[in-house]
């Protein structure tokens, strides 16, 4: 059976509401999605938002849309892309919630025993605005669609999960220098895509 056939079967099982199919998706993607959420909810948001809650919310949205027939996922990469996109948007929604009015985490005072936190530290710790996160998520999704090289796709996926070049090289059995070079190429392509979108 071809890989894309197995995804189509899984999607049909999900559409019918089969619990076993949902469990398969959980087993395959949960750890990576939690890592992605952690990376996107750093700084002060990390205290307010549990990445696992974000992923659960993303799954809920995914399963409801899949059951209603609102998703057309043709491959494993497509499934990962959809789950990534939903998770990133949930992160952006949580960030917007905790930056609104009286809840704005940027207004909270940072207490530190040695008072070593400077205003510059607070500025550099700023999370992206929801519209920035949404635009980046769309650009990353588009980048995934343009990648034909399996190594580039794997490097992008692992990098989005927060793995270092050394960790990616170890997981893929590649030279670290080669991974760094491919990551740089992907970064430049992503920057061009972002610039074109403006």
CATH label of the domain that carries residue 188:
1.10.10
Domain, as residue range, for 126: 3-130
Asked if 111 and 16 sit in the same domain, the reply is yes
Quick check: pTM over 0.85?
A: no
Task: Give residue 55's pLDDT.
Answer: 92
Are both 117 and 19 inside the same structural domain?
Answer: yes
Summarised one tens digit per residue, pLDDT across range 16-68 is 888 888 899 989 999 999 988 888 887 777 778 888 999 999 999 898 888 88
Q: 114 and 153: one domain?
A: no
Question: Do residue 9 and residue 91 come from a single domain?
Answer: yes
Statement: residue 103 has pLDDT above 70: no
Q: Are residues 105 and 191 in the same domain?
A: no
Asked if residue 180 is part of any domain, the answer here is yes
Q: Select from 105, 130, 155 the last residue of a domain.
A: 130
- Residues 79 and 160 occupy one common structural domain: no
Residue 136 lies in a domain: no
* Residue 89 domain-assigned (yes or no): yes
- Residue 118, pLDDT score: 47
Residue 134 has pLDDT above 60, yes or no: yes
Question: Residues 44, 106: contact at Cβ < 8 Å?
Answer: yes
Least confident of 54-68, 128-142, 166-180: 128-142
- Domain identity same for 14 and 106: yes
Instruction: Round the average pLDDT of the chain to a whole number and report it.
Output: 77
The pLDDT, as a whole number, for residue 56 is 92
Q: How many domains does the chain have?
A: 2
12 and 105, same domain (yes or no)? yes
Is 111 found in the same domain as 48?
A: yes
Tokens of 102: 């009286």
115 in a domain, yes or no? yes
Identify whether 101 is part of a domain.
yes
């Amino acid at each position: 059976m071809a890989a894309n056939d197995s995804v189509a079967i899984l999607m049909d099982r999900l559409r019918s509401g089969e619990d076993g199919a949902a469990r398969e998706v959980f087993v395959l993607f949960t750890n990576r999605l939690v890592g992605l959420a952690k990376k996107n909810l750093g700084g002060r948001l990390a205290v307010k938002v549990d990445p696992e809650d974000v992923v659960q919310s993303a799954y809920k949205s995914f399963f409801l849309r899949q059951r209603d027939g609102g998703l057309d996922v043709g491959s494993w990469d497509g499934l990962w892309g959809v789950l990534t996109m939903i998770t990133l948007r949930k992160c952006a929604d949580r960030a917007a919630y905790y930056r609104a009015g009286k809840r704005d985490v940027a207004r909270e005072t940072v207490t530190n025993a040695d008072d070593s936190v400077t205003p510059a530290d607070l500025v550099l710790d700023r999370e992206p605005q929801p519209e920035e996160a949404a635009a980046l998520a769309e650009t990353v999704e588009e980048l995934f669609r343009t990648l034909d090289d399996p190594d580039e796709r794997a490097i992008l996926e692992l990098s989005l999960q927060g793995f270092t070049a050394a960790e990616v090289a170890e997981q893929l059995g590649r030279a670290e220098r080669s991974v760094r070079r491919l990551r740089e190429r992907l970064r430049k392509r992503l920057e061009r895509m972002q610039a074109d979108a403006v």
